[in-house]
Amino acid sequence: MKIMRHNLAIRFTHWVTALSILVLFFSGFGQMPIYKRYYVDQLPGLGWSSDFLITLHIHYWAAAMLIFVVFYYAAYLSITKKWDIIPKKGDLRESMQIFAAILGLAEEPDSDKYLAEQRLAFVVTALSILVLIVTGIIKVYKNLPGNYLPPEVVFWTAQIHNLFTVILLLTIIAHLGAFLIKANRPLVASMFTGWISADYVRQRHGKWWSKLNLDLTDEQIDIPLSASAEENREVI
């Protein structure tokens, strides 16, 4: 028995965002003079990495891709009104409880489609991306011939852009770090295929499970999702 967790629109959003951010990180760090100093441009195929103008072009293109997908996702959310990922009241406390549960100190609360900590992480990540886009647009404007911005604006735009790059990097490290926790691992496959086992949903996402309102027998639920789903069920 399997359940659709991430439809095509969400998977598209996730992976286009991931790809563009990955490229933005590499090309963005390339705006600082480090690839030459640290011999990154000596690695096979990366000779171009220390050329500031090449990495700048790449940064612009990847930024266009990110802006595209942000608008796509924002419009998608507003049209479909699927607000599952938006934080709710009490999410902070519930997140603490989930962390305590991971350490075996408490019982994990029944979750909705997303865990409280996922909803909070989403907001931090999304806000960082928005700040980076806004400051990035200011920087692009400044780079256009004939445009002038006061030194204070240029300085603070650069500092905020750099600071939120670090914040976004930390949220992404935390996002990937979440998969060190076994209970989260079935979610990895679901971001590729969209599907997750019904058993996982019933065990961990009780609120979502009841909303789905599926009239299923235990046998139906236990039908494996796929070969790998067997492992997933063991984890749960």
Partner 1 sequence: MEITRRSFLKRTALSGVAAAAVLTKTNQVMAQSAADSEWATVINVDKCDGCTHLDTPLCTLACRSKNEHNFPVPEKPIVDYWPQKKHEDWSEQKNLTNRLTPYNWTYVQNLVVEYNGQKKKVHLPRRCMHCENPPCSTLCPFGVNDKTPAGPVVIDSQGCFGGAKCRDVCPWHIPQRQAGVGLYRKVAPDYVGGGVMYKCDMCYDLLESGREPACVSACPRGAITFGPKEEMLRYARQWVQKNNGHIYGDTENGGTLTYYISTVSFDAINKAIMSQDMDQKPGKIHMSTDIKNPLDEPAGIAQGMVIAPLAGLMAAGLSAYQIMKGDDSDENNAS
Based on the shown chain and the rule CB under 8 A, indicate whether residue 158 belongs to the binding site for partner 1.
yes
Q: Which of 151, 180, 218, 234 binds partner 1 (CB under 8 A)?
A: 151
Is the Cβ–Cβ distance between 184 and 178 less than 8 Å?
A: yes
- The secondary element (H helix, E strand) that includes residue 191 is helix 186-193
Figure out which of the listed residues 156, 176, 230, 231 binds partner 1, where binding follows CB under 8 A.
156
Nearer to partner 1, 57 or 182 (CB): 57
- The Cα–Cα gap between 56 and 24 comes to 10
* 224 sits near partner 1 (criterion: CB under 8 A): no
4 near partner 1, rule: CB under 8 A: yes
For 145, other C-beta atoms within 10 Å of its C-beta total 4
Binding positions for partner 1, 23-52, rule CB under 8 A: 31-34, 37-39, 52
Count, residues near partner 1 per rule CB under 8 A: 57
Annotate 106-170 with DSSP letters as a single string: SPPPP--SS-HHHHHHHHHHHHHHHHHHHHHHHHHHHHSTT----HHHHHHHHHHHHHHHHHHHH
Nearby residues of 145 by Cβ (< 8 Å), 6 or more positions away: none
| 2-4 and 195-197 beta bridge pairing | antiparallel
Only segment of 40-48, 55-63, 123-131, 176-184 that touches partner 1 (CB under 8 A): 55-63
Give the interface segment with partner 1, choosing from 58-66, 95-103, 116-124, 167-175 (CB under 8 A): 58-66
Give least dist CB 124 to partner 1, A.
Answer: 22
Kindly list the residues in this chain that would bind partner 1 in the complex (CB under 8 A): 1-4, 7-9, 12, 31-34, 37-39, 52-53, 56-57, 60-61, 63-65, 67-76, 79-80, 140, 142-148, 151, 154-159, 162, 194, 198, 212, 214, 216
